[in-house]
Structure 1
Amino acid sequence: MPTNYLFSSDVSKFQELIDLLPIAIFIKDTESKLLAINKACELQWGLSFKDLQGTDASQLFPPAQMEHFLAKDQEVFESGCQIDFEETMWNATLKQNRMVHTFKKPICDTSGKPLYLIGMFVDITERHMAEQRILEMATYDILTGLPNRALLKDRIERALEHGNRNRERVAVLFIDLDNFKVINDSLGHDVGDKLLQAVAARFVSIVRGEDTVARQGGDEFIVLLSNLESVFDAEAVAQKILNALQLHFLIDGKELHISGSIGISLFPDDGEDIWTLLRNSDIAMYHAKKNGRNNCEFFKPEMNRQAKERHSMEVALRNALKRDELLLHYQPIVNVNGGKADGFEVLLRWQRPGDGLIYPVKFIRLAEETGMIIPIGEWLMRQSCLQIKAWEKQGYEFPRLAINLSAIQFRQKTLVENIVRILDETGVTGHYLTLEITESELIEDVEETIKTLRQLSELGIEISIDDFGTGYSNLSFLKRYQINTLKIDRSFVRDIPDDPDDTAIIDAILVMAHALGLQVIAEGVENEQQLAYLALHGCTRFQGFYFSKPLPAIEIEKKRW
């Protein structure tokens, strides 16, 4: 309500009262001329009432601020009501603009007509800056200074509204840096963080000012492109990004190289809302990685179906262990001397309800990508040991079981510790086990690999190189590492004895293995001609359908290998 009393011509009464208050206070007439200001106003804002009395103070404040002050004064006089608001005000003492919260209230005569205006303002600059910092922390990525997911969401929504009104395309580019984890793990998180900052700056330099580069999290970035005339515009930007990543980064004196995989989704073609566009660009990025990395892929509806199938399989795989859907089959490794099995390879199967028996080729890669390979691998190791124990109790003379280890399992720091625990819990010794690993698993962190293989050997566990000759072949590892067996990959066995290239490779492997004192197993033996050639050239151990397909334990027991 307006205050209903006449402003006394004896200003000193008001002056004494307002001078007692610590907040800046002023009184104006209906023409916005100053009638009084208090001591706090003079001290805090560098004002002198002697110089300002009877003026609107336009000699002290910038024109834009004065225009705002006078407009607010008029609003009070015309409405007869109190108002409060935030505004910017020049502080002559500090010689800078400050953010203030201003209150203005009319002083009216007995009829309710406004005669004067009393106002006060509080400096809220520090509070405003703190709020801005909080807002920035909530909407900008601290590491790179890029918009984060929250601000990105707002930007995409605005872009879609604009695109919808003007019938323009919008593109969402989902970028994932390839093998960033290798740099982060090998050179440290400080170097990784600086690389992310440099990558972010490079991305920003490529796009237009109206576009948005945001950090999705980790080594993932989103680029939002608006006002596109053609899908080729999005592809051109994606190619610029890939080209920019080709140039090296100099971080702490180290020359670093990195590439990226980009998925592109378009509005309205691939989705009309933010979440659909983000999901579809993510799916397309996954396909870019799958197709060799360092490239871009546009989203296609078929990808969505595949993504749903993959998600469904992932959920089912996570439940497979709990629901006891995994099982083991065993394929004999036969010794030519006597034709008896002197080992079995353990092969994983998934009895998925509604889908029948699923082979590892369908789900092992997914298990590795999701981390499920670790619990599945431990389950396989434990079940194999339990099966050894069961056969031992039934009185079978039992040879070794060969168990495949993925690179992820082999690089586990707790690998040996976990195997020792399983052996202890099941009461099985390591002499019953062979671990099959691939050549590629031996090329990283040589010293740690030597240590792991030595520890496994001390447990009585033998090491076999699976698919020998198909991976990264550095023959020096055969001398340096404690390896017992080489397994000739089935791709070399398939066409012998007719293919001269395959026979030459097999001959070389056998000569080299025998010279180094290593055993050799030929995989994929399916006919008598293959067997005869291999035996004639000195191979004594074989595995393949010629002898037996992989069988469940009960079938193995019936055959009494």
Structure 2
Amino acid sequence: TIIVRARDLVHNALASANLLDDRQIVMSVYASDKPDPASLIFSTRTDDAPVPRDTMSAWIAPEHRSSLVRTIEAAGRPWLVEIIALPRPFAADHLASLATLAGGILLSLLTAAWVQASGMRTRRVQQLVRKRTADLKRTNRRLVDDMIARERTEKALQQSEQRFRQLVAMSSDWYWEQDRNYRFTMITGGFAEKAGVMVERVLGKTRWEYMEGLADTESGRAHIAQVKAHEAFSDLEYQVLDDNGDTRWFLVSGQPVFDEHGNFQGYRGTGSDITARKLTEQRVHHVAQHDVLTGLPNRSLLQDRLSQAVAYATRSANPVWVMLIDLDRFKFVNDSMGHKAGDVLLMTVAARLRSSLRDSDTVARLSGDEFVVILSEHGEQHLTVDIVQRVMDAVAQPVMLGTKEFFVTCSIGVAVYPSESTPADALIEHADIAMYRAKKLGRNNFQFYTPAMNEESLERVRIEGALRNALERDEFVLYYQPQLDMKSGKIVGMEALIRWQHPELGMVPPSRFVSIAEETGLIVPIGAWVMRTACAQNKAWQDAGFEKLRVAVNLSARQFAAAGLIESIEQILQDTGLEPRYLEIELTESLFMSDVTPAVELLHRMKALGVNLSIDDFGTGYSSLSYLSRFPIDVLKIDRSFVADITRDANDEAIVTSIIALAHNLKLAVIAEGVETGEQLDYLRRHGCDEIQGYYFSRPLPAPEFEQLLVEGRGLAPEETAAVEPEPVTA
């Protein structure tokens, strides 16, 4: 058996190679392929512990080591050889390098310190430069802003001065200055050209010296006191006579001037010529207080004049008369001749009223064709009825309207103040009541107000109030007056006449309420009710077997002008079932004379329905052959005013005879209204009148009584209808 001592073998091998002499090399041999302490067979490591070193020594002279590990195969097994070089000081081997490194580091540190110092100084310089630059910029900006602001201020000042000059030029015509004694020292701006007054006339004088009368007025004295109190004033208006003697109006404003010590030095201000404005204001004021058409004072100025007259009457105990003048039949002139003719008539009457009265009297136009006159008694000029009569005579003079001569009369009501029955605030109202009384008495006269007239006026108010509810309360009734044929003597038609059965007033005749209904417009629904009721009653009598009669219904001016008239008539005929030929519509001449062309169209549309058309009260209005030929008329009705005196008045006889002849020549029928005597009947029969209507045969009857008339078959006696050859009409 061969025993190999591995330790000795390795030791001998290393020794022979002189590898054990170097104490800085540790060699270890392991009998395995891993450095396992259990398989360690040889090592040159000693147990001496390393000497501990402080941090600074380790940092200045660092130690370093290296190692080598190899595995070899010998004797059929692996052997691990580990060679480790022990640590040794780095400085000892690299002293020169370390010296160089230390010098470089020191140089770098010095360089860095110098650079840092230089950089800090540079930064301080830069900061200082930036601060100085910012200060300079701010200063420069403030300087620029100041320059811009100054330029703006100078420009604004120039614009303000320019605007002030323009404003002064636009708002005033001249500039003036006064000294401490209020005397003018300077006037510029073309005062002589614009004011019409030479400057020399004003310089050296006070305003109240060159303007005579300023100190005599309350406003002038107030201005002088204001100026002497050294107060500013504005918009002082006063009038002067210019160098041509014309009245001029000036408007001035002024400011007191004081020196630096507060001592008064005078005035300065502006002035303007406002003559054109004042004349315009006067014209506007005149228009506001005067009637445009006649130039007379209107209602506004009338009240002012009346207040002055009443105040004078109260102080002097002299009476004041108020006359209210209303033109008679002015509506007829306006409707027949047109509004232009009506305007001419109003202007003519206004001129006549002014010329017939004193300059101290007031003539005003109240409204429409109504005028008011205020008469005051002065000294020995007593008020008498002769003044009223003089006014009536002046108005009644003929007036030429175009180529026609018209005679227009007036009705006058007079109220007196002071009077127990007439307070001052009721003068016009009482004069109006008296005027209505004059119209009621036949027109063309004058009446002084009495308390009894007020009762009539109050009754008119009561009637108007009750009239508004009469239709709803079914208070109206129709009466029928028969129309008889002169040849057969039979009843051939009837006229429907309205009556008002009031529960308190009793039976109110048409004369008391129809005019009021016309004025208020209530006539339109009332007229429609009359037509519908009359048509329904006529149809009922026809259905009852009576002779088919014609019923006549009056059409008012308001109805004729109302919209939908044709449709209303057509609807009534349709609703009642009455044939159109049994309805006769009565029209007055004034309804269609204001505007003929539309009236012609309307009448033809009405005629197209199949109804009959008649002219009521023919001869009392603007009778014209031209419209008789143009209008589709069937019947002419002679007014009762002509029939009443045909047996006593030759003029009325001639008129009636002419109307009958005219109608027959135009193929029209003639009905005479208001026949009350046998003589009238005989005259009409002898002259060929077709039909008559009047109290001679029957008064208007309520429907039951008229029906009884039909039942009895009453008519004219045979001797009343005897055929007589019509008498010829003499020229």
Output the TM-score relative to the length of structure 2. 0.58
- Partner of 2:436, secondary structure, is helix
CA distance in 1 between partners of 2:436 and 2:277 (Å): 44
Counterpart for residue 26 of structure 1: 176
* Selected match of 1:88 from 229, 239, 248: 239
CA distance in 2 between partners of 1:88 and 1:292 (Å): 55
- Partner of 1:363, secondary structure, is helix
Q: Does the CA-based 8 Å contact 1:465-1:483 persist in structure 2?
A: no
* Residue-by-residue CA offset, 1:132-172 (whole Å, 9 max, x unaligned): 12111110112222111100100000111111122221110
Counterpart for residue 702 of structure 2: 550
After the TM superposition, which of the residue ranges 300-309 and 120-129 deviates more from structure 2?
Answer: 120-129
Q: Does the CA-based 8 Å contact 1:173-1:222 persist in structure 2?
A: yes
- Partner of 1:491, secondary structure, is coil
CA distance in 2 between partners of 1:54 and 1:438 (Å): 82
- Partner of 1:122, secondary structure, is strand
CA distance in 2 between partners of 1:479 and 1:412 (Å): 31
Counterpart for residue 469 of structure 1: 643
After the TM superposition, which of the residue ranges 229-238 and 203-212 deviates more from structure 2?
Answer: 229-238
Counterpart for residue 225 of structure 1: 375
CA distance in 2 between partners of 1:187 and 1:252 (Å): 9
Q: Does the CA-based 8 Å contact 1:65-1:88 persist in structure 2?
A: no
Counterpart for residue 324 of structure 1: 474
Distance 1:430 1:27, change over 3 A: same
- Residue 39 of structure 1 deviates from its aligned partner by 3.6
Q: Is 2:447 the partner of 1:297?
A: yes
CA distance in 2 between partners of 1:409 and 1:76 (Å): 65
Counterpart for residue 319 of structure 2: 169
| Paired letter, 2:319 | R
| Paired letter, 1:432 | Y
- Residue 272 of structure 1 deviates from its aligned partner by 2.3
Q: Is 2:584 the partner of 1:399?
A: no
Counterpart for residue 245 of structure 1: 395
- Residue 103 of structure 1 deviates from its aligned partner by 1.5
- Residue 442 of structure 1 deviates from its aligned partner by 5.0
- Residue 397 of structure 1 deviates from its aligned partner by 5.2
* Residue-by-residue CA offset, 1:356-414 (whole Å, 9 max, x unaligned): 4434354345545666545433321122223445566x765563253353785898799
* Residue-by-residue CA offset, 1:276-311 (whole Å, 9 max, x unaligned): 100111111122222232221111111111011022
- Partner of 1:223, secondary structure, is strand
Counterpart for residue 441 of structure 1: 618
Q: Does the CA-based 8 Å contact 2:521-2:558 persist in structure 1?
A: no
Larger radius of gyration: 2
Q: Does the CA-based 8 Å contact 1:61-1:90 persist in structure 2?
A: no
Q: Does the CA-based 8 Å contact 1:26-1:37 persist in structure 2?
A: yes
- Residue 449 of structure 1 deviates from its aligned partner by 4.1
Q: Does the CA-based 8 Å contact 1:331-1:551 persist in structure 2?
A: no
- Partner of 1:164, secondary structure, is helix
CA distance in 2 between partners of 1:146 and 1:227 (Å): 21
- Residue 71 of structure 1 deviates from its aligned partner by 6.3
Distance 1:231 1:284, change over 3 A: farther
- Residue 87 of structure 1 deviates from its aligned partner by 0.9
- Residue 117 of structure 1 deviates from its aligned partner by 1.6
- Partner of 1:143, secondary structure, is coil
Counterpart for residue 478 of structure 1: 660
Counterpart for residue 139 of structure 1: 289
Sequence identity of aligned pairs in percent?
Answer: 31
- Partner of 1:474, secondary structure, is helix
Count of aligned pairs:
504
CA distance in 2 between partners of 1:151 and 1:223 (Å): 12
CA distance in 1 between partners of 2:704 and 2:261 (Å): 102
Q: Is 2:361 the partner of 1:211?
A: yes
- Residue 322 of structure 1 deviates from its aligned partner by 4.3
Output the TM-score relative to the length of structure 1. 0.74
Equivalent residue runs for 1:87-166 within 5 Å: 87-89=238-240, 96-108=246-258, 114-166=264-316
Counterpart for residue 507 of structure 1: 682
- Residue 258 of structure 1 deviates from its aligned partner by 2.3
Q: Is 2:408 the partner of 1:258?
A: yes
* Selected match of 1:491 from 665, 673, 676: 676
- Residue 475 of structure 1 deviates from its aligned partner by 2.3
Distance 1:372 1:448, change over 3 A: farther
CA distance in 1 between partners of 2:382 and 2:241 (Å): 50
Counterpart for residue 528 of structure 1: none
CA distance in 2 between partners of 1:99 and 1:418 (Å): 65
Counterpart for residue 581 of structure 2: 431
CA distance in 2 between partners of 1:409 and 1:475 (Å): 32
- Residue 320 of structure 1 deviates from its aligned partner by 2.4
Equivalent residue runs for 1:348-427 within 5 Å: 348-360=498-510, 362-364=512-514, 366-367=516-517, 372-389=522-539, 396=545, 399-405=548-554, 419-420=569-570, 422-424=572-574, 426-427=576-577
* Residue-by-residue CA offset, 1:456-509 (whole Å, 9 max, x unaligned): x5xxxx7776869337652233344355574674631xxxxxxxxx3x443343
| Paired letter, 2:354 | V
CA distance in 1 between partners of 2:367 and 2:392 (Å): 19
Distance 1:102 1:323, change over 3 A: farther
- Residue 347 of structure 1 deviates from its aligned partner by 3.9
Distance 1:371 1:231, change over 3 A: farther
Distance 1:57 1:147, change over 3 A: same
CA distance in 2 between partners of 1:348 and 1:67 (Å): 71
After the TM superposition, which of the residue ranges 371-380 and 435-444 deviates more from structure 2?
Answer: 435-444
Q: Does the CA-based 8 Å contact 2:290-2:301 persist in structure 1?
A: yes
After the TM superposition, which of the residue ranges 109-118 and 339-348 deviates more from structure 2?
Answer: 339-348
- Partner of 2:386, secondary structure, is helix
